Structure 1
Amino acid sequence: MNRLNNNILQDYAGPARLPAYDRSAISPGIVHIGIGAFHRAHQAAYIDDRLGEEPGWGIIGASLRRSDMRNALMPQDYLYTLAVRHGEETKARIIGSVTDILYAPPGNRPVIEAIAAPSTRIVTLTVTEKAYCRNPATGDLDFDHPDIKADLKNSDGAQSVPGLLYAALSMRRRNGQSPITLLSCDNLPDNGGTLARVVTQFARERDPALARWIEDNFAFPASMVDRIVPATTDADRDAIEALSGYVDAWPVVTEPFSQWVVEDRFAAGRPALELAGVIMTDDVGPFEAMKLKMLNGSHSALAYLGVEAGYVTVADAVADPVLARFLDAMMRDEIIPTLTVPDVDLGAYAKALLERFSNTVLKHRTMQIAMDGSQKIPQRLLGTIRDRMAKGLPHQRLDLAVAAWIRHLCGRDGAGNRYEIDDPMARQLSEIAGRTLPDVLALGNAVLDLQPVFGDLSDNARFRDAVLAQLRILFEEGAVTAMAAVR
């Protein structure tokens, strides 16, 4: 069977929808850092919808840590299949918006040069929370991060995202190039402001004049992205090959739902994203808070409680009526009262989330969501807890979700099955677990003492006592009992 590439597009008559434009006419205008499954199912698909009318917005992808995506897609001319699954139905389309993928550690010079190129007008990012190298409790750049320390001393490349962007913007300035837009698409509160902060803080250490140029001229719009995209499996590859009639080394599988909300603030033009279904707005904040607190917050709670209960996938976990009722009550009773989103029925949104979680064909693994908890829970859970505290409102279910993350750090589920902790703080967290267990309260207190994660909540005795009480139940009676006991 033929491998997907430009040549097969000429005579292809299968069910996959082809790009609605001539790929030879496409030129890059966007550099995307972090070209994983989510970007290829989300932003790249929106851009693909516009290339027929606006061919100058092709995407150069960049991977800073791994070469496997480039190795898989380069023989395919960077084409790949986007498969949308719902129930028994799969709709496939071939995405052609990615024109190249760069992978060039340790210095990432080709990525820096691509961002500094005159044709580049937008840089987008999906690099996950940890790649911003910031203190998750304060949002400021972590100058003790080893990659930041290395990049501050390096004048010939960079390995961190803030260091790489500094190097690229410095090159633009030296070359007389105009300012551009840097658009974060990661799950962070005020992601645009966060990106601006870490880049300018890094620049201020190296070149204060460049920092002022960035602050005065570049755009860092906020955005909110929403689509569930599980990791691609070999079974997915086989199914898409059987459906499409060609071999695709790395397709991407997703759900029908997709949303992108973007602050309409750009320094060097933009494609007409609104014509592809993007919500362009002056204020992303309410949408961002809704998504971070409701989807991401409930996703994390589901993951940690689901792993402890032995559930491998999100759909399996939410099929448990106790867990489904817990998530529904957490969203409706504890999260929604902290939100105000214009023209959005938050109750209907909560119902829709549970329906999306129950999509059995996606096979979204709970362990995939559980990774990087030290970076995720400050935004997804702790912010809502602070909002509840400020109003004197209870937050028992949110406390249980935090306790479930701490329980997760022991590296064993409720049945005793072992797993690895995947987290930027994994070494420190595993050391705490190894040193304190089987003393559950000692484990909980040691984790709650971590100021980079919990900030001021480390010193809140009522919060600490509530989490420790839930943690004891989780260890002694399990996740199902703990969820059922919350009223």
Structure 2
Amino acid sequence: MEKLCYETLEKQGYDGYLLKDAPERVLQFGEGNFLRAFVDYFIDMMNEKAGFHSKVVLCQPIAPGLADMINEQEGLYTLFLRGFENGKKVNDKRVISCVSRCLNPYQDYDAVLACAENPDLRFIACNTTEAGITYDPACSFTDVPADSYPGKLTQFLYKRFETFGKESGKGFVILSCELIDNNGKELEKCVLQYADQWKLGEEFVNWIKQENIFCSTLVDRIVTGYPRNEAASICEELGYQDNIIDTGEVFGFWVIEGPESLKEELPFEKAGLPVLITDDHKPYKQRKVRILNGAHTSFVLGAYLAGQDIVRDCMEDEVICGFMNKTIYDEIIPTLTLPKEELKSFAASVTERFKNPFIDHALLSISLNSTSKWKARVMPSLKGYIANTGKLPECITASFAFYIAFYRGKQLTEDGLIAARPAGNEYTVKDDRPILKFFYDHREDDARTLVHAVCSNEEFWGEDLTAIAGFEDAVAGYVADIWEKGAYEVMKGCLDK
């Protein structure tokens, strides 16, 4: 079977959209599944629908990477977006042709720096994981390349500054996609630290600030990556060998914080794409964290104790899905600031995403580090609801009890805390070691003693939750009910109130 390339597609008589030649206007640090199913997909669509006419040159941020496989296929790969949309099952296929090549900075860093001399280059996109945006003072300007991503970016920006000097318009729009708060601003902060540490001069620092736009962004799409178990049959159906097939969910949403002028430079709106350029991305991040992530954290531990294993099956259960919906619509949405119709529309899309027939999203994988997740994703809704109504939210309060019951283990091992469902099958709770040790030490407590210990642990929550009127008593009652009647009955009871 012939490998995917432009010649192979020509032989097949492929009649889909392809862009073989265009200026490289985008440099992308990161060549992994997420960026190729998200940023590169949007650019490819923008090329077709809005005449953006741009190629993306990729730079693999770590070694080893995918550079060789990408270059062997001339940057081409097949992307499948699969799931539910407007109540219908969707399985869309597209050959992505916006990628020109992929550079390996560990083999040829000069080729990466040479991109800084390209006058057409205007945009830099990146997703180097949450750990990627860090300032490492051990990095040196003379490293080939610098070890940290912000170090590499500083070297690249300095090469640009050397090449074009103070020429206006030759800075970059930098789109940071890492999953940390204020990702763009944090990246800029690291770059300025390197410029100072490496003594690159006041003119360069001013150029960074005045000619470059560091955009914080919110990214939202589940990307499932290379379909290992299906790849052979997919290639057989495609009629070519594609070693970098990518898969993701249909839903995608990108919020870019930046000036109004970006709407002209990046014609996402003209292309009809779900990309929003705004002066404040935070309300949209809050919406995602509190509704989508908060829904996950609120119901999955109870659903697991009730005998479920994957998210999709939970959506087919009237009680569990009802509990989730009551949590979202009655207790979370009223605490948020965006227009209610926008919030309800997003919530409806969440239910569709959770029903995705192509993704087996395991409840146990979502349960990882649930302590910090509950604090970040659910606790703000708890406090917001109380502030608005003066009452405790039934479902959110119950979700805290599910968390405590899920973490009640009997054996502490190197792998985690071993616990058991009511049916007797064991599972492993995974979290920071001191948290697991805490629950292990309290394994013999009765419901009230255990709940008091958890609620009053300020190291977990940053405050004493026993100070919330009625919360400790309500949680203790729910925990006792979970132990006696089961998590499913507690969910059912919440729906009856």
Shorter-chain TM-score tier: 0.7 to 0.9
Matched, 1:439 2:472: no
Letter of the 1:95 counterpart: I
TM-aligned CA distance change 1:337 to 1:369, over 3 Å: same
Secondary structure in structure 2 of the residue aligned to 1:93: strand
How far apart are residue 325 of structure 1 and its match? 1.9
Residue 168 of structure 1 is matched in structure 2 by 156
> How far apart, in 2, do the equivalents of 1:246 and 1:215 lie?
47
User: Of 205, 209, 223, which aligns to 1:215?
Assistant: 209
Comparing 332-341 with 464-473, which one deviates more in the overlay? 464-473
How far apart are residue 173 of structure 1 and its match? 3.3
Contact 1:82 1:251 in 2 (8 A): yes
How far apart are residue 328 of structure 1 and its match? 0.9
Secondary structure in structure 1 of the residue aligned to 2:338: coil
Matched, 1:126 2:127: yes
Residue 410 of structure 2 is matched in structure 1 by none
Matches within 5 A, 1:142-153: 148-151=136-139
User: Of 253, 264, 273, which aligns to 2:268?
Assistant: 273
Letter of the 1:12 counterpart: Q
Contact 1:30 1:57 in 2 (8 A): yes
User: Of 16, 19, 27, which aligns to 1:18?
Assistant: 16
Secondary structure in structure 2 of the residue aligned to 1:131: coil
Secondary structure in structure 2 of the residue aligned to 1:151: coil
Matched, 1:31 2:36: no
Residue 137 of structure 1 is matched in structure 2 by none
Matched, 1:245 2:239: yes
Matched, 1:357 2:349: no
Residue 70 of structure 2 is matched in structure 1 by 73
Letter of the 1:295 counterpart: L
How far apart are residue 389 of structure 1 and its match? 5.7
TM-aligned CA distance change 1:469 to 1:295, over 3 Å: same
> How far apart, in 2, do the equivalents of 1:116 and 1:152 lie?
19
Residue 136 of structure 1 is matched in structure 2 by none
Matches within 5 A, 1:367-406: 369=366, 379-385=376-382, 387-388=384-385, 391=388, 394-395=392-393, 397-398=395-396
Query: 1:409-432, CA deviations, whole angstroms, 9 ceiling, x for partnerless residues?
Result: 6366736545695xxxx6xx1354
Contact 1:19 1:48 in 2 (8 A): no
User: Of 292, 297, 316, which aligns to 1:295?
Assistant: 292
TM-aligned CA distance change 1:417 to 1:255, over 3 Å: same
> How far apart, in 2, do the equivalents of 1:377 and 1:194 lie?
24
Contact 2:130 2:180 in 1 (8 A): yes
TM-aligned CA distance change 1:250 to 1:113, over 3 Å: same
Secondary structure in structure 2 of the residue aligned to 1:157: coil
> How far apart, in 1, do the equivalents of 2:234 and 2:248 lie?
13
How far apart are residue 332 of structure 1 and its match? 1.2
TM-aligned CA distance change 1:165 to 1:466, over 3 Å: farther
Query: 1:363-400, CA deviations, whole angstroms, 9 ceiling, x for partnerless residues?
Result: 34445555676876665334444544654563564466
Residue 313 of structure 2 is matched in structure 1 by 316
Matched, 1:183 2:175: yes
> How far apart, in 2, do the equivalents of 1:474 and 1:68 lie?
51
How far apart are residue 94 of structure 1 and its match? 0.6
Residue 2 of structure 2 is matched in structure 1 by 2
**Normalised TM-score (structure 2):** 0.74
Matched, 1:332 2:344: no
Letter of the 2:123 counterpart: I
Residue 252 of structure 2 is matched in structure 1 by 258
Bigger relative contact order (CA 8 A; separation at least 6): 1
> How far apart, in 2, do the equivalents of 1:66 and 1:370 lie?
30
> How far apart, in 2, do the equivalents of 1:315 and 1:459 lie?
35
Contact 1:302 1:314 in 2 (8 A): no
TM-aligned CA distance change 1:432 to 1:368, over 3 Å: closer
How far apart are residue 8 of structure 1 and its match? 1.0
Contact 2:26 2:122 in 1 (8 A): yes
TM-aligned CA distance change 1:111 to 1:125, over 3 Å: farther
TM-aligned CA distance change 1:267 to 1:159, over 3 Å: farther
Residue 100 of structure 2 is matched in structure 1 by 99
Secondary structure in structure 1 of the residue aligned to 2:145: coil
TM-aligned CA distance change 1:303 to 1:268, over 3 Å: same
TM-aligned CA distance change 1:191 to 1:480, over 3 Å: farther
Comparing 39-48 with 295-304, which one deviates more in the overlay? 295-304
How far apart are residue 4 of structure 1 and its match? 1.8
TM-aligned CA distance change 1:76 to 1:332, over 3 Å: same
Gaps of 5+ in 2: 408-415, 444-449
How far apart are residue 401 of structure 1 and its match? 5.2
Letter of the 2:127 counterpart: T
> How far apart, in 1, do the equivalents of 2:96 and 2:323 lie?
38
Contact 2:417 2:428 in 1 (8 A): no
How far apart are residue 357 of structure 1 and its match? 1.0
**Normalised TM-score (structure 1):** 0.76
Contact 2:455 2:466 in 1 (8 A): no
Matched, 1:430 2:430: no
Comparing 391-400 with 353-362, which one deviates more in the overlay? 391-400
> How far apart, in 1, do the equivalents of 2:256 and 2:220 lie?
12
TM-aligned CA distance change 1:410 to 1:355, over 3 Å: same
TM-aligned CA distance change 1:176 to 1:450, over 3 Å: farther
How far apart are residue 226 of structure 1 and its match? 2.9
Letter of the 1:359 counterpart: N
Comparing 335-344 with 398-407, which one deviates more in the overlay? 398-407
Contact 2:291 2:332 in 1 (8 A): yes
TM-aligned CA distance change 1:395 to 1:231, over 3 Å: farther
> How far apart, in 2, do the equivalents of 1:335 and 1:223 lie?
23
Letter of the 1:254 counterpart: G
TM-aligned CA distance change 1:367 to 1:61, over 3 Å: farther
> How far apart, in 2, do the equivalents of 1:175 and 1:13 lie?
43
How far apart are residue 123 of structure 1 and its match? 1.6
Contact 1:403 1:468 in 2 (8 A): yes
> How far apart, in 2, do the equivalents of 1:405 and 1:439 lie?
14
How many percent of aligned residue pairs carry the same amino acid?
A: 24
Residue 42 of structure 2 is matched in structure 1 by 46
> How far apart, in 2, do the equivalents of 1:180 and 1:273 lie?
18
Aligned residues: 459
User: Of 61, 82, 99, which aligns to 1:85?
Assistant: 82
How far apart are residue 95 of structure 1 and its match? 0.6
Letter of the 1:260 counterpart: W
Contact 2:452 2:472 in 1 (8 A): no
> How far apart, in 2, do the equivalents of 1:467 and 1:155 lie?
58
> How far apart, in 1, do the equivalents of 2:125 and 2:453 lie?
38
